[in-house]
Amino acid sequence: MNSLSNDFLSHPKITPTHYQRLAFIYVRQSTPKQVAQNQESQQYQYRLQLRAQELGWTVERVRVIDSDLGFSGSEAAGRSGFQELVAEVSLGHAGIVFGYEVSRLARNNADWYHLLDLAAVFGTLIADNDGIYDPRLYNDRLLLGLKGTMSEAELHLLRQRLDAGRMNQVKRGAYRQRLPTGYLRLPDGEVIKDPDDQVRHVIELTFAKFEEVGSAGKVMRYLRQNGILFPRRQSAGPQANQLL
């Protein structure tokens, strides 16, 4: 916790203009499993609020955006928190944006550079666990660009490893593809229809209704109007294997 203190005290890049604006803390973890099991990372990100206060922002002028917990940073779509952050920067409300590291903010260069461009235009600082950067300064912009590129490359390498591991399982005949709702795999590997009568009935009804009306939207309206809930067996996260 103290490793950042010296970097975040009386920093020369912070001006009175920055203090007139808000400090935003962006908190993100990639999956529901990480949110549930990796509490230390989450707590460390929340502690960035203390960094903002050490720098001179009052508690009332520090905002935490944590609505993207459990969402991948590979793209901005579906990340309402990141979109909110971009909006605050573009409105000139943000004096500084804190993220534990660049990969917390974005793992996609298009999203990352979009944020940097806006931060440069509106004079918003970016802070991570290594220091504070002003995107208007050439050296800072260069370093932030390199960090973004490395973050995106890291995600690519992670995907490569996952794909390689999956292919090794395929070659060994040990790979088990995730089944759609309505099917279950027995311990011996045999795939069967879900033994839950209600699950089977709703799925059969859905296909029958689609054949009748010819539109997924009309099927959804039919289910909604009749109060019929469509089942889903959660495959991962805290509710894994539960019927939702």
Catalytic residues: 30
Instruction: Report which of 54, 58, 47 is spatially closest to residue 21, judged by C-alpha positions.
Output: 58
235: tokens are 């495959």
Helical H segments across 7-58, by residue range? 16-19, 32-37, 39-46, 48-55
Instruction: Report which of 111, 136, 134, 109 is spatially closest to residue 121, judged by C-alpha positions.
Output: 136
- DSSP letter string over 156-222? HHHHHHHHHHHHHHHHHT---PPPPTTEEE-TTS-EEE-S-HHHHHHHHHHHHHHHHH--HHHHHHH
Residue 22 host element (H or E): strand 22-26
Q: What residue has token string 């720098």?
A: 55
